[in-house]
A and B are shown apart, each in its own frame.
Chain A
Amino acid sequence: MVKELLKGNIAIAEAAVRAGLQAYFGYPITPQTELLEYLSKRMPELGRTFVQAESELGAINMVYGAACTGVRVMSSSSSPGISLMMEGLSYIAGTELPVVLIDVMRGGPGLGNIAPSQQDYNQIVHGGGHGDYYPIVLAPANIQEAIDLTVLAFDLAEKYRSIVIVLLDGSLGQMMEPAELPPMQPLRESYPEWATRGAIGRERRIHTSIYLNPVEQEKTNLRILQRWQEVKKNEVRYKSYFLEDAEYVVIGFGTAGRVALSAVRAARAEGNKVGLLRPVTLAPFPAQQIEALAGSSKGILVVEMNSGQMLDDVMACVKGRTPVHFYGRPGGIVPLPDEVLVEIHRMTEKSGRLNGHPRDQWLERMVQHI
């Protein structure tokens, strides 16, 4: 295979096709629409299923139905559309079905805008739909990673009968980069023992998420949690840069992590011993790695394109052992490397305890933007 110049949304769509995607159901919303448009042509020409649904509610429930039959199925949307899918995601989680969802985040809350953002972190990572359930969340920072993680998403979804969400911001959906697509995988020919495909020569099968007897519901909840423990044990993924001798650590995912890497390189060029941890799996979260860094570093700076959502998860790992700083640009603004470098300087020059919560301190500095 050779590298091609690919747009993020198209690259993800084609990666899914090559990973054996059998059915896609979606609804147009910027900045993910090219994904749907691409598949509206690509899927039918391969004899595979494509439906433009009447809404995101329709789309996610079509996904739900198709997932019951054991096929590789996917939908994609962006923040407001993802909110509409939360009902369906909770049902899919409660029914323990493998499903892949692409969320190309935009600015919000509300209708917000169509600029790149990481506003969906809490909704995606910590639920959003009702109930105790744990989607696997993958966060690419470039087009190649978006391709690779999309392919991985299908394997993980089936391995753990889980929802897997590829979470990226609008800039990754829209930008073009050279990247290599995977080879075309053959479509699956056999189906799992749980698939409802018509009871041909066998007893009936049922897919449901209702357990009216709380004892049975609790069993299901515990089974789902047990499976999640396996995911946490096996599937933590992250990228580390310059961490071997780092005195200070920057943590950011997706585009924020990528921007932070430029700032970290600039800080290194100045002689500052700064490194970067970029979580690739937001769930399971690289908690052990962050705990270790908390013990070995003089300070941690969290950079996000929101008002500090992953920040809370980082602080839960740090447990007060090292000062945590925060820098975020919510609303659809991508921070520049220079802005992050200023924050790195602030951290390295002002060692020691901080007064108050890092988000509060950051907000004081952000007054100029209000």
Chain B
Amino acid sequence: MVTDTEITVYHRPATLTDLGTHYCPGCTHGIAHRLVAEVIDEMGLRETTIGVASVGCSVFAYNYFDFDFVQAPHGRAPAMATGIKRVLSDRIVFTYQGDGDLASIGMGEIVAAAGRGENITVIFINNANYGMTGGQMAPTTLPGMKTTSSPNGRDVESQGYPIRTAELLATQEGAGYIVRRSLHDPKNIRLAKKAIRLAFETQVRGLGFSLVELLSSCPTNWGMDPVDALRWIEQNMIPYFPINDFKVHPVIASLRI
């Protein structure tokens, strides 16, 4: 049926500021930001949410969200989020961290926060390298993957193995919701959004620590065009970092959203 009036079916989330991002073309940070903003909008959390930005490409995440935000030292976002959440227990506190920040320099803080069952949400961007400093090896860099600090490819004999963060944190009793998703195609993006929603639902219900690991592309540092980079996630990252639910609190598992 043809109508005379146009109906907006897709719009910018209210909590995503009207600002062009500084991210490289084809980078999936923009998608992750949008998904977080959509969830905050849908849950009506704009006035009660405080975000914690980390160090890395997403250091300026606070520019793109229209709610209170603070910016943490490298790796310390979970500790800073703890400080906020413990004095404002009725607010929604989340960190937005990359893999260098969370899984390398901040491994102590993230494991401790999960262990304490800190009632915060973590959006964890895994793009297998240090993006902001120009593509160095990260704890998530795949075996054999070339980076600017593993020019011959990551040699697991001397440089060790990639860390599977979600699996590691899911071993913690204090964790309420730990999953991995990917941003490489529309179907997976929809699944990622649902996971982000459930992570925030976990916090709203006070069910403990929640984390969504998002496999993300870094076309610039990977030396690929955006489409190839998305394919590379599917073909190379997912086999090592499987998309899965590693821990889901029964209350969340039974939730129908």
CB within 8 Å of B: which residues of A? 22-23, 25, 49, 51, 53-55, 57-59, 61-69, 71, 73, 87-88, 91, 95, 196-201, 204-210
Contacts and interface: CB of A to CB of B under 8 A. Distances in A.
B131 to A, nearest CB: 16
Interface string B103-134: 00000110110001000000000000000000
A69 B88 contact: yes
Nearest to B112: A54
A1 B46 CA distance: 47
A198 B88 contact: yes
B50 A25 contact: no
A104 B59 CA distance: 34
A25 B59 contact: no
B24 to A, nearest CB: 16
A58 B80 CA distance: 8
Contacts of B47: 198-201
User: Which residue, of B47, B85, B87, has the highest number of chain A Cβ atoms within 10 A?
Assistant: B87
B108 A61 contact: no
Contacts of B65: 204
Contacts of B80: 61-62, 64-65, 68
Nearest to B17: A204
A204 B112 CA distance: 29
B109 to A, nearest CB: 6
Contact of B87 (A49, A88, A199): A49
3 cross-chain pairs, A with B, having the tightest CB-CB distances, nearest first: A65-B83, A54-B112, A61-B79
Contacts of B53: 208
B41 interface: no
A64 B108 contact: no
A57 B76 contact: yes
A199 B67 contact: yes
B68 interface: yes
B73 A71 contact: no
Contacts of B72: 61, 64-65, 91
Contacts of A200: 47-48
Contacts of A59: 79
Considering residues B46, B65, B73, which has the most beta carbons from chain A within 10 angstroms of its beta carbon? B73
A198 B49 contact: yes
16 contacts: A55-B112, A58-B108, A61-B76, A62-B83, A64-B76, A65-B82, A66-B84, A68-B83, A95-B70, A196-B70, A199-B66, A201-B47, A205-B68, A207-B69, A208-B62, A208-B71
Interface of A, helix, strand, loop or mixed by DSSP: mixed
B84 A199 contact: no
A92 to B, nearest CB: 10
A23 B69 contact: no
B16 interface: no
Contact of B86 (A62, A95, A205): A62
B109 A58 contact: yes
Contacts of B32: none
Nearest to B79: A61
Nearest to A70: B87
Given A58-B109, A58-B112, A207 B70 contact: yes
Interface in B153-179: none
A65 B109 CA distance: 13
Given A51-B86, A53-B79, A55-B112, 13 more contacts: A23-B87, A55-B108, A61-B72, A61-B73, A61-B80, A65-B52, A66-B87, A67-B83, A71-B87, A73-B83, A87-B73, A205-B69, A208-B70
Most A CB contacts (10 A, CB to CB) among B52, B88, B116 go to B88
A58 to B, nearest CB: 4
Nearest to B53: A208
Nearest to A48: B87
B102 interface: no
B91 interface: yes
A338 B60 CA distance: 59
Contact of A53 (B70, B81, B88, B112): B112
A206 B87 contact: no
A116 B60 CA distance: 44
A206 B67 CA distance: 8
Contacts of A22: 87
Nearest to B82: A62
Contacts of A209: 71
A61 B83 contact: yes
A88 B73 contact: yes
Contacts of A67: 83
Given A51-B82, A61-B109, A198 B71 contact: no
Contacts of A57: 76, 79, 108-109
A46 to B, nearest CB: 13
Given A51-B82, A51-B86, A68 B70 contact: yes
Nearest to A65: B83
A204 B86 contact: no
B87 A196 contact: no
B22 to A, nearest CB: 10
Contact of A49 (B71, B86, B91, B109): B86
A69 B52 CA distance: 13
Contacts of A91: 72-73
B109 A197 contact: no
Contact of B88 (A95, A197, A210): A197
A54 B106 CA distance: 12
